[in-house]
Structure 1
């Protein structure tokens, strides 16, 4: 599962990292609390190479008559993404990379309070989520979803799902640049790739922003 994440990489860094041509309408950063339905930077492949473009986080199947015509599809389950009518063509033909610094997930205290955790790459490198995308509507609005899978060791104590994260050596295969076989990439991160720490409950608000949201929690009153 991935319902919120942080992205502070400058556009120039993403262009260089992915060797991608940037679009003119990329959303401005940094952003420490990226929420569903907002525009996010996404890397997709094309005939002229990779492009860094803006997409709505929230996949819209072609039969939706409006963005609110059905469930908000921010994640696509790895186990069924190739079969579900909403996702199967995109899984086969339109896969993408979604860069992030890290993502948030929540546990619950005994009184029901939501307690946020922040997950990052253990080596400090940016995360890259496996995604799928689709143009929707008469204006061809580009929309996307993050592929999720059963949680691995680092994640399973917090949540039963996690976003599929890709190593740089896997980017080309996921984008379809290296032929078939991308299905094997839809699995949990290997043990040791991801680390986590508790963060302030301030991030529970989807309007919160700022670097303090990802700082390790030190206030005992917020545990």
Structure 2
């Protein structure tokens, strides 16, 4: 799954990479501790025109009477996203990309403590996390699609976010026809770095700054 991530690449660089028109309300970067309910930059495509837009991380189904009317939905499972009422329309017509510089995952220590690990792309480029979005009243909200853990994540956690390769962006964004379901799979061997143990300071949603991703001895 994906419960925290970083975005350290400038918004202008992200807009250029994705060929998207940047909005004027994008969240400030860098952010080394993006948390649920934070605003995030999201790539959408409408009629082949890509836009980099701000959305709330935390998908709000259409029937919620308030944003906190039910569970906070930050991830959508690849195996059920097409059938769950909350997501089935979104995955057909409102797929998006959530750019990230890296993401955190946690293991459990010998004393039950939560130990954070940090993942990035092996090539140093921003990650393109598969997402689905929903407009709730006047708020655009997003969830990150997760799938069964692949070779890099296995042993640490049983889920991981879907990381899209650049060649697959048009299909996921609906620009290249149908069949995007085949993209909802784990990253192949070599696409992601091996997990790097980082400070437990990131366990707090108030923590910030580049020290959060500095490697420490595991």
Which of residues 173, 188, 191 in structure 1 aligns to 2:189?
A: 191
Cα distance change, pair 151–123 in 1 and its aligned pair in 2 (3 A): same
Question: Given the alignment of the two structures, is residue 179 of structure 1 paired with residue 177 of structure 2, yes or no?
Answer: yes
| Pairing 1:57-136 to 2, within 5 Å after superposition | 57-136=57-136
Single out whichever of 88-97 and 47-56 deviates more from structure 2: 47-56
Partners of 2:48 and 2:175 within 8 A in 1: no
How many residue pairs get aligned? The number is 217
- Per-residue CA deviation, residues 186-218 of structure 1 (Å, 9 max, x unaligned), is 000001111121001111111100111111114
Give, in angstroms, the shift of residue 47 of structure 1: 2.6
CA distance in structure 2 between the partners assigned to 1:124 and 1:20 by the alignment: 20
1:209 corresponding residue in structure 2: 208
Give, in angstroms, the shift of residue 124 of structure 1: 1.3
CA distance in structure 1 between the partners assigned to 2:126 and 2:14 by the alignment: 10
2:139 corresponding residue in structure 1: 141
State the SS of the aligned residue for 2:49. coil
Which contiguous aligned blocks of 4+ residues in structure 1 show a shift greater than 2 angstroms?
A: none
State the SS of the aligned residue for 2:46. coil
TM-score calculated relative to the size of structure 1: 0.96
Q: Alpha carbon RMSD of aligned pairs, Å? A: 0.8
State the SS of the aligned residue for 1:81. coil
CA distance in structure 1 between the partners assigned to 2:198 and 2:66 by the alignment: 36
CA distance in structure 2 between the partners assigned to 1:48 and 1:106 by the alignment: 37
**Which structure 1 residue ranges, 5 or more long, are not aligned?**
none
**Which structure 2 residue ranges, 5 or more long, are not aligned?**
none
State the SS of the aligned residue for 2:153. helix
State the SS of the aligned residue for 2:119. strand
